[in-house]
Amino acid sequence: MPQQTRTARKTVVTIQGREFLVNGRPTYEGRTYDGMKVQGLLFNSRMVQGIFDDRNAETRSRWRYPDGPWDPERNTREFIDAMPLWRAKGLLAFTINLQGGSPEGYSRSQPWMNSSFETDGSLRPDYMSRLERILDRADELGIVAIVGFFYQAQERRMDDEQSVMRAADAATDWLVDKGYTHVLVEVANEADNAGFKHDIIKPTGGAVRLIERLKERSKGKVGSPAGRLLVSTSLNGGRVPSDSLVNVVDFVLLHGNGVQDPARITQMVDETRKLPSYRGQPIVFNEDDHFDFSKPQNNMLAALRAYSSWGYFDYRMAGERFDDGYQSVPVNWTISSPRKREFFALLSKVTGVGSP
C-alpha cells in the first residue's frame, strides 16, 4: 500500500527550556508586562466541548439551543468561527478533550454519553471528523491545541484497562497520521480525580507508564524538533505533581480550581520547581475557574509573576444564560459575556496583542 501523503502543516510548537516556541520563535517575542516576562508563555483557555455530543437519549434534550435543538455540527462550526476572535486578543492555545468535560461545569452525576472512543477503545469517526476540522483551523491560525484524551466521567464507561490503552494508542496514532505539529497532549484531565476507574490513568497507578508509552509510540513520527508528541497529564486543582510524574512529562500541567488565594498559585509553581525531578520544563495552568480580572491581584497575574502560563476556565453559573461560559452546553463560543470580555481584555493588555 502506498504511503499516505500528509498535509503540510503551518504551525509547529516546540519547547526550549522554560519557553514555548511557535515556528521557531518564542511566543509573545520580546514582550514584558509590568516588569514581568511574557515571552515564551502559552496563555490558553479551556474549550473542551468543541466536539461534544450526547448519545444518551434521556439527557440529549438538556443541551437545546435557545433557538433550536442540540446540534453537534453547529457547535463545532461556531467553535471554528470564533477562533480568530480569540487569537486576535492574544490567545495562543486552547484545551479540547476527546471525552469533553462536565457540560454543566461541575456535576454530582454525569449520565450523558460524550466520548470520541467506543467502550472498547476504538475511535468514533464522527467525533474525529469534528476534531480534525478544529485542529486544521487552529493550525492555520497559529494556535496550539492541548488535546486531552480522557475525562473521568466518560473513562469509567470503557470496558477495561486494555480498552483505555487501546484508546490512547489510537488517539496518538491519529494525531501522528494527520501530521499535526501544533498539538500538546494532556493524557487525562485531573488524573488523580476519584472518578477515574482504571489504574493506568492514575498517578499512583500506571500514569507514568502510559505517558512513556505515548512518547515512545510517536517517536520519530512528528515533523518537529522533538520528533514526537509532547505529553503531560494534569491533577486536581491546587495539587502539585509527584517527582515520578515530573520526571516523565514534557511540560507540567497545574490546575487552579479551588485556589482562592492568588499567592497559592505562585507557591504551586515554586513547589514544582523545587522538586528533585524538575528539569526546567514549562509550567502551564490549563484550568482555573477564578477571575477578578479587574483587580490588581488575581490568579492569572499570580501565574505570570511566577513565569508560568495560565488558562481560563469559565462555565455557566446559577442564573446565567447562553452567552455565559465556555464549558456549559450549549456554548456561545464568541466573546459574549462580561466575564469573557474581562478575561480577553486583560489577556490583550498583558500580551500586547489586539486592543483591550
Provide the 10 A C-beta neighbour count for residue 70: 17
pLDDT tier, 343 (very low <50, low <70, confident <90, very high otherwise):
very high
pLDDT per residue as tens digits for the range 152-200: 999 999 999 999 999 999 999 999 999 999 999 999 999 999 999 999 9
Instruction: Assess whether pLDDT exceeds 70 at residue 5.
Output: no
pLDDT at 123: 99
- Residue ranges per structural domain of the chain: 13-351
Give the pLDDT mean for 37-45.
Answer: 99
Kindly state the percentage of the chain with pLDDT values over 70.
98
pLDDT at 108: 83
pLDDT per residue as tens digits for the range 97-131: 999 999 998 988 899 999 999 999 999 999 999 99
Question: At the top level of CATH, which class does the domain 13-351 belong to?
Answer: alpha beta
Average pLDDT of the residues of the chain: 97
Instruction: Assess whether pLDDT exceeds 80 at residue 7.
Output: no
Q: Give 59-109 as a DSSP string.
A: TGGGG-BTTB---HHHHHHHHHHHHHHHHHTT--EEEEETT---TTSS-S-
Burial tier of 124 (Cβ tally within 10 Å: 0-12, 13-18, 19+): middle
pLDDT per residue as tens digits for the range 226-241: 999 999 999 999 999 9
Instruction: Assess whether pLDDT exceeds 50 at residue 338.
Output: yes
Give the pLDDT mean for 320-336.
Answer: 98
pLDDT at 2: 43
pLDDT per residue as tens digits for the range 254-263: 999 999 999 9
pLDDT tier, 4 (very low <50, low <70, confident <90, very high otherwise):
low
